[in-house]
A and B are shown apart, each in its own frame.
Chain A
Amino acid sequence: MRWYSALFDNEQIIEAALLSLKIAATSATFATILGTMAGLALTQMGRYRGRLLFTGLIAAPLVMPEVITGLSLLLMFVSLQELIGWPVSRGAGTITIAHITFSMAYVAVIVQSRLSSMDQSLQEAAMDLGGRPIQVAFDITLPLIAPSMLSGWLLAFTLSLDDLVIASFTSGAGASTLPMVIFSKIKLGVTPDINALATLIIGTVSIGIIIASWIMFRQRKRNEVG
């Protein structure tokens, strides 16, 4: 237990964990919004100029090696700063933008696969009855794809919480996320306080998974009954 109390006395780790959670929650939320829009744009909007490039832009972040994404985003931020003075400094804000960029691709793929496997007749009926596209999107499409948006959000959240390489590139001097702190400690070998931290994290995640699958199980049962 010594290492657990050492863990909670370690301000660096607590601060990094809070920062990571904040970045993960913010970036997952924006990634879900942008990714859902991208999913709609790829499935519901028909043909438009540049659609092929758009499809490529959604697929590329999924496979791009992290070192390239990280380096290119950092150089982008540095150039923007010189040109227009924004971003003023690198840290939580720039990491969040970087995480939104790669997680929105994951959300878009999840939403897109749901949308393309979905029966479109409800949307068509609503349009025939005079619904405007924006009404149809908010009243029919979005409620139907809400479960995929939720799983997209959760995936974006864990991806952000887990990312080391892109965060290292896009962070400034002040901000260290939890993976950055863990990595700098374990590079040199196995340490007991990180073992304690790993146990805590894996325990929390397991409880989360058990609760989530329990809720899903109950919902499925209720659907079967109803």
Chain B
Amino acid sequence: MSDSKPVVTKAYHQPLGDKLWRHFVIGVPYFWLLLFFLAPFSIVLKISFATPIVAQPPFTQLFDFTGNASQWLLATWDNYQFLTEDNLYWVSYFKSIKIAAVSTFICLLVGYPMAYGIARATPTTRNILLMLVILPFWTSFLLRVYAWMGLLGKHGIVNSLLMNIGLIDSPMQMLYTDMAVYLGIVYTYIPFMILPLYATLEKMDTSLHDAAADLGAKPWQTFIDVTLPLSMPGIIAGSLLVFIPAIGEYVIPALLGGIDSLMIGRTLYDEFFVNRDWPLASAVATILLIIVVIPIMLFQRSQQEQE
């Protein structure tokens, strides 16, 4: 029916009002995101080449046209050079990538069976289970991390429980360790792993499993050869949704980690708020941005393939 309708000619006869409406709907959110999301990155890049000074704002301009021509350009590589020379930053970047990668892997190991179970449950149970996965989003993230401080502390619930049943004699140091950071990240980000996994597993055609079983495949063979490859889009999406935000995480290492738990988000935050070295913080952010943009682009590509 709609085939006979000349859709193409519509564009030529578009009245002014329709055109304005179209420009308005596309243009306003587009402009907002360009101005407040994309443009700021270029400013971070710019300031990462500036020199810190004690002033308001605390950095120099990149150009000074008052003197003679050879001194116009004030931009320097000093911040980046400093980053490569000081061990602290290497350690921070490396440790962030390590913590994010290991946490992502643990989320995958724990989240996959959960997502699988939810996808295979009866509709009523499924809705309840899904709601339980989403429920933590509705309470404050900060307070949930804070609750872990109460659980893991020296006089916390876990330590008193272990002491009461006689497993340990004196309180274990659990809070302010790397283990607490892993625990916090896995706990916080696991819904981001479960939901995309669930979405792909739920859509999966179960007749493929029956076919594999009929052809004599053992359950684990069916899983490795059929289920796992088919759920790859979910695995990729979930892993990136955990890995990318975890790499720059500030709150969890600041509250649960020890003084030595240097994740790059915390280093950047301290560089900015404690040392007030804005250009150096910008340089740290630029490198971090490069590290996360690559997986984001991969993510977008996998999203487009799904469509």
Taking Cβ atoms with an 8 Å cutoff, the residues of A that contact B are 34-35, 37-38, 40-41, 45, 48, 50, 54-69, 71-73, 75-76, 78-79, 82, 97-98, 100-101, 104, 108, 124, 128, 132-134, 137, 155, 158, 161-162, 164-165, 168-169, 179, 182-183, 186-187, 189-190, 194-195, 198, 201-202, 205, 208-209, 213
Q: A194-B146, A209-B135, A209-B138 are in contact. Are A57 and B248 (CB under 8 A)?
A: no
Residues of A within 8 A of B303 (CB): 59
Cβ contact within 8 Å between B292 and A64: yes
Cβ contact within 8 Å between B281 and A63: no
Cβ contact within 8 Å between A79 and B43: yes
Residues of B within 8 A of A59 (CB): 296, 299-300, 303
Cβ contact within 8 Å between A182 and B142: yes
Stretch of B103-111, B208-216, B219-227, B237-245 at the chain-chain interface: B237-245
Cβ contact within 8 Å between A198 and B146: yes
Cβ contact within 8 Å between B139 and A108: no
Cβ contact within 8 Å between A198 and B32: no
Cβ contact within 8 Å between A108 and B289: no
Within 8 Å of chain A (Cβ to Cβ): is B22? yes
Complex interface bits, B134-158 against A, C-beta within 8 A gives 1, otherwise 0: 0101111111001101100100000
Q: A57-B34, A133-B18 are in contact. Are A201 and B245 (CB under 8 A)?
A: no
Cβ contact within 8 Å between B2 and A34: no
Q: Which residue of B lies closest to A39 (CB)?
A: B29
Q: Which of A38, A69, A71 contacts B282 (CB 8 A)?
A: A71
Cβ contact within 8 Å between B149 and A41: no
Residues of A within 8 A of B268 (CB): 67, 71
B32 → chain A closest CB, angstroms: 6
Cβ contact within 8 Å between B22 and A186: no
Query: Which 4 interchain pairs have the tightest Cβ spacing?
Result: A65-B248, A72-B40, A76-B40, A38-B29
Residues of B within 8 A of A162 (CB): 140-142
Residues of A within 8 A of B163 (CB): none
Q: A34-B32, A54-B30, A57-B37 are in contact. Are A198 and B147 (CB under 8 A)?
A: yes
Residues of B within 8 A of A187 (CB): 254-255
| Complex: A195 Cα to B146 Cα, angstroms | 9
Interface of A is mostly: helix
Interface of B is mostly: helix
Q: Which residue of B lies closest to A51 (CB)?
A: B26
A79 → chain B closest CB, angstroms: 5
Q: A68-B289, A190-B150 are in contact. Are A41 and B25 (CB under 8 A)?
A: yes
Q: Which of A35, A61, A132, A161 contacts B37 (CB 8 A)?
A: A61
Cβ contact within 8 Å between A164 and B282: no
Cβ contact within 8 Å between A201 and B153: no
| Complex: A79 Cα to B142 Cα, angstroms | 31
B23 → chain A closest CB, angstroms: 9
Cβ contact within 8 Å between A67 and B18: no
Cβ contact within 8 Å between B139 and A65: no
28 contacts between A and B (CB under 8 A): A45-B26, A54-B26, A54-B30, A57-B37, A57-B38, A60-B296, A61-B33, A62-B241, A63-B240, A63-B241, A63-B245, A64-B296, A65-B248, A65-B249, A67-B265, A67-B268, A68-B288, A72-B41, A73-B36, A76-B39, A155-B137, A165-B250, A165-B251, A182-B146, A187-B254, A190-B146, A198-B143, A213-B131
B4 → chain A closest CB, angstroms: 11
Cβ contact within 8 Å between A158 and B250: no
Residues of B within 8 A of A195 (CB): 150
A73 → chain B closest CB, angstroms: 5
Q: A78-B57, A161-B140 are in contact. Are A65 and B265 (CB under 8 A)?
A: yes
Residues of B within 8 A of A66 (CB): 245, 248, 250, 265
Within 8 Å of chain A (Cβ to Cβ): is B278? yes
Candidate in A67, A134, A164, A168 with the most chain B CB atoms within 10 angstroms: A67
A143 → chain B closest CB, angstroms: 17
Q: Which of A61, A133, A201 contacts B143 (CB 8 A)?
A: A201
Cβ contact within 8 Å between A63 and B33: no
Cβ contact within 8 Å between B36 and A76: yes
Residues of B within 8 A of A97 (CB): 36
Within 8 Å of chain A (Cβ to Cβ): is B12? no
Residues of B within 8 A of A128 (CB): 2, 5
Q: Which of A65, A72, A133, A190 contacts B43 (CB 8 A)?
A: A72
Q: A65-B248, A71-B285 are in contact. Are A205 and B138 (CB under 8 A)?
A: yes
Q: Which of B22, B37, B131, B241 contacts A60 (CB 8 A)?
A: B37
| Complex: A205 Cα to B21 Cα, angstroms | 39
Q: Which of A63, A71, A101 contacts B44 (CB 8 A)?
A: A71
Complex interface bits, B22-56 against A, C-beta within 8 A gives 1, otherwise 0: 10111011101110111111011001000000000
A199 → chain B closest CB, angstroms: 10
| Complex: A97 Cα to B269 Cα, angstroms | 21
A186 → chain B closest CB, angstroms: 5
| Complex: A201 Cα to B38 Cα, angstroms | 35
